[in-house]
Amino acid sequence: MSTPTTEHLAAGRTADVAVAGLTKAYGDVVAMADVDLTIASGEFVAVVGASGCGKSTLLRILAGFERATAGTVEVGGTAVTGPGPDRGVVFQDYGLFPWLSVRENVAYGPARKKLPKAQVAELADRFIAAVGLTRFADTYPAQLSGGMQQRVAIARVLANDPSLLLMDEPFGALDALTRADLQTELKRIHTETRTTVVFVTHSIEEAVYLADRVVVMTGGASHGVPGHVQAVVPVDLPDRDVTSPAFNEVKRTISDLVHTVAAPA
């Protein structure tokens, strides 16, 4: 695979996020209650927590796929009332169009915006290069490995120039080496674009490696207490050496918080 291009990845749009008093109930079950969270423009925030604590629910509400039962969500100062092109979403399953080539998948969003053809082609090529897939631009998703398909999914979302990138376990289905590669690339892309990122993961190590701050959620229906934010941990490390004592100290702090059992309401 070719080395990803670090040039020409111009800073994209970026937005702050304000979540206040967010509550989501499914019938009688309150999945998540009273979540407050502010994210600065350009920040990378990871969300961790045990299964069922409401991580994906929070992300889906930010994406506008679901409406909150109570509370408010603003992205870039505008209330979220549904999905919008200002927010790009990457899931664990790549969600590519199998009948389109890599280039056509990445060009899809810009083409729908009716940008001039040359600009669409330039955008597609730039983001395909950014994820290291230039040599594969004319191949189809079925011909690519899972890691390569997820690179295409990331390029496709970035080509739409979102101001907020929402990622739900995007590397969860990948083997450890591919996952590490994509983490490094995402970190580099974030450094270059400064797009605000909210990244849901089960891996505390991945969260500490990638994020400026880690939101720890606890609770959930099976705990008898709604999912909520237990703590927000800043990752104040000069580098992200996963073997360093400082890195492991932050991991331990977060792990202890994840396993905090909230008192039933």
Ligand X SMILES: Nc1ncnc2c1ncn2[C@@H]1O[C@H](COP(=O)(O)OP(=O)(O)OP(=O)(O)O)[C@@H](O)[C@H]1O
Site size toward ligand X (CB under 6 A) is 14
Q: With binding defined as CB under 6 A, does residue 226 bind ligand X? A: no
CB of 234 to ligand X, least distance (A): 22
Buried/exposed 227-242: b ≥16 CB within 10 Å, e otherwise: bbbbebbebeeeebee
Of the candidates 121, 221, 246, 262, which one interacts with ligand X according to CB under 6 A? 221
Alpha helical stretches, state H, 67-143: 102-112, 117-130
Binders of ligand X in range 29-68 (CB under 6 A): 29, 31, 49, 51-57
Tell me if 15 sits within 8 A of 164, measured CB to CB.
yes
What does the block give as tokens for 207?
Answer: 């969260």
Q: Which of residues 3-32 bind ligand X (CB under 6 A)?
A: 26, 29, 31
User: Which C-beta is closer to ligand X: that of 189 or that of 217?
Assistant: 217
Q: Hey, which residues between 115 and 134 contact ligand X (CB under 6 A)?
A: none
- The answer to whether residue 215 forms part of the interface with ligand X (CB under 6 A) is no
CB atoms within 10 A of CB 31: 20
User: Based on CB atoms, which residue is closest to ligand X, 49 or 170?
Assistant: 49
CA angle, 66 then 72 then 76, to 5°: 95
> Which among 207, 195, 261, 265 has a CA at the least distance from the CA of 234?
207
| CB closer to ligand X, 18 vs 221 | 221
Give the Cα separation of 15 and 222 in Å (integer). Answer: 34
In the complex with ligand X, which residue's Cβ is closer, 6 or 222?
Answer: 222
Residues that bind ligand X (CB under 6 A): 26, 29, 31, 49, 51-57, 220-221, 227
